[in-house]
Amino acid sequence: MAQLFFKHGAMNSGKSIEIIKVAHNYEEQDKPVLIFTSGIDTRDEVGYVSSRIGLRRKAIPVFDDTDLFEYVQNYPQKLYCILVDEVQFLTKEHVLQLAKIVDRLNIPVMGFGLKNDFQNELFEGSRYMLIYADKIEEMKTICWFCHKKATMNLRVDENKKPVYTGEQIQIGGNDDYYPVCRKCHSNPPL
C-alpha cells in the first residue's frame, strides 16, 4: 500500500543525498522513479537535486502551475516511487496532488524538505505535508555552534550576523544559513 512520506530536517541534514540514494536503490532494481524539485531553487541549476558533497541528479522542476498528478498519471512507463526535493516550496495544491498520486495511482511519494524557515514559521509546503503525510520522519544533523541536535535554520548576512526579519524565501546555502539548535538560534555565538 503506497504512502505519502515527509522527511524533514534542518539545513545540512542530508535530505538531497537521501533522495539520490533512494532513486539509485530503486533504479538498480530496474524500478523507474521520478524526481521533482522546486523550480525556484537556483543554487546549482534549475531542475537539479544537488547535495553539498557534490552529488547531483537531474529532476523535473515544479512551478506554481505544475500539475504533479497529471504529469505522473500521463507518464509513459510504470513508476515505482515519486521523490520530491525542496518540498517546503510547494503549494497546498501541490501537496494535495502528491496525496492524490498515492491514493489514486498507488505510487509511494517521498517529500524531503525544511519544516520551518529562519523565523521558525512553517513553509506552506511543509505545513500541508505535516497535515497530509502518512509518515513523518526527522532527518537529524548537529548544531553549527554546539553539540546539540539542529532543529532550526539561522539566516546570516554577508558579515555572518544573524538575520531575523525579511522575506521567507531566500535561496542559499552555507553562506546564508546555519543549522542550529533552539538556544543557538536565539543567541548565536557569532
| Residue 46 belongs to domain with CATH number | 3.40.50.300
Q: What is the mean pLDDT of residues 5-30?
A: 96
69 vs 45, which has greater pLDDT?
69
Spell out where 19-123 has E strands: 33-38, 48-50, 56-58, 60-62, 81-85, 109-113
Type of residue numbered 118: F
pLDDT at 36: 98
Residue 166's closest CA among 117, 129, 128, 125? 117
> 18, 86, 121, 124: which one is catalytic?
86
Separation CA 139–CA 29 (nearest Å) = 25
Across residues 121-138, what is the average pLDDT?
97
Is 136 found in the same domain as 117?
Answer: yes
Nearest residue to 74 (alpha-carbon basis) of 64, 60, 89: 60
Tens digit of each residue's pLDDT (9 = 90 or more) over 56-86: 899 999 999 999 999 999 999 999 999 999 9
Q: Which pTM was predicted? A: 0.93
The answer to whether residues 108 and 170 belong to one domain is: no
Most confident of 161-165, 173-177, 182-186: 182-186
User: Which residue from 87, 154, 168 is spatially nearest to 126, judged by alpha carbons?
Assistant: 87
Q: 109 and 71 in one domain?
A: yes
- Count of the separate structural domains present in the chain: 2
Q: Are residues 21 and 66 in the same domain?
A: yes
Which phi and psi (to 5°) does residue 7 adopt? -110, 110
Instruction: Quote the domain boundaries for residue 181.
Output: 149-186
Statement to judge: residues 106 and 161 lie in one domain = no
The answer on 50 and 81 residing in a single domain is yes
Query: What pLDDT, on the 0 to 100 scale, is given for residue 70?
Result: 98
Q: To the nearest whole percent, how much of the chain has pLDDT over 70?
A: 99
Are both 110 and 182 inside the same structural domain?
no
Contact in structure between 12 and 52 (CB atoms under 8 Å)? yes
pLDDT of residue 53: 83
Same-domain pairing of 22 and 74:
yes
Does the annotation list 119 as a binding residue? no
Over residues 139-145, the mean pLDDT reads 96
The larger pLDDT score, comparing residue 98 to residue 189, is at 98
What does the block give as the cell for 26?
A: 530503486
- Known binder of ligand: residue 87? yes
Q: Binding site annotation covers 177?
A: yes
- Return the pLDDT at 50: 83
Quick check: is 93 catalytic? no
- Mean pLDDT across the chain, nearest whole number? 94
- Do 27 and 56 share a domain, yes or no? yes
Residues 136 and 182 occupy one common structural domain: no
Domain shared by 102 and 179, yes or no:
no
Separation between Cα atoms, residue 37 and residue 21, nearest integer Å: 15
* 86 labelled binding-site residue: yes
Q: What is the mean pLDDT of residues 126-150?
A: 97
- State the CB neighbour count (10 A cutoff) for residue 20: 19
